[in-house]
Amino acid sequence: MELFSREGARVVFAARGAKRGQDLADRLLAEGHHVLFIQANVSHSDDVQRVIAKAVESFGRIDCAFNNAAALGRVQRSADYAEAEFDAEVTSNLKSVWLCMKYEIEQMKKQQPPGGAIVNTSSTNGLGGARGASLYSMSKAGILALTKSAAQEYAGDGIRLNALVAGGFDTEMLHNAITQIVGNDPAKLEEAFKGLTARVPLSRIGDPREAAQAALWLCSAAASYVTGLSMVVDGGLTCWAR
């Protein structure tokens, strides 16, 4: 979001955390960027429609959208999840993306001139599953199929849809996942991160700004002939298998 605004985009962004989101918006506004924060839960249809309506009211249209909401539940084996945990994972990670796509596409079809670009965040876990994270992997695989299907359906409307398939990035979610696996012992955490880094051909964990750069390109006119793509950004982690 910061990268988009600094590249000159008029940005509307939504998140559940009101204070964190507004603090970021205030900082970017103070720098002279056109930014609007809306507190919302994008797994709720009413919230998504409110965000879309406010974006159009504020800036007139939606040229691109980056759907980047996700949540990771407990790390455990597939049969140990409760039914409620299955429903929560699907709602947070897959339904939220579908709802955002649904109302973004509706707006992009009716605006003049019509069209736009949508990027949905998936994960390398969605390419082949992951032990201890089957529900997360399932939802991320669903995002890939959803994106590719919609890319074929709406190309004639001038709407491009692509997926950003993210590997390991230095985020709160990655730290939480590894902590669930090895606990809070600093030595074990350091060893776990060393082990993950050793599996990456580029020999490091990704910087979130590198994922943002990929999303920015997919949304830009430079990618005008790109749709239905699963762009893997993982430092080469899964290159042997794809």
Distance separating alpha carbons of residues 32 and 14, to the nearest angstrom: 19
**113 DSSP assignment:** S
pLDDT digits 0-9 by tens, 177-200: 888 888 888 888 888 889 889 999
pLDDT digits 0-9 by tens, 13-51: 999 999 999 999 999 999 999 999 999 999 999 999 999
Distance separating alpha carbons of residues 18 and 95, to the nearest angstrom: 21
Is the pTM for the entire model greater than 0.75? Answer: yes
Task: Name the residues annotated as catalytic.
Answer: 136
Facing residues of 117 across strands? Answer: 64, 160
Alpha helices, DSSP H only, in the chain? 2-6, 18-30, 45-59, 83-90, 96-110, 125-128, 134-154, 172-182, 186-199, 208-219
Does residue 1 register a pLDDT over 80? no
pLDDT digits 0-9 by tens, 45-79: 999 999 999 999 999 999 999 999 888 888 899 99
Domains, the chain: 63-241 (3.40.50.720)
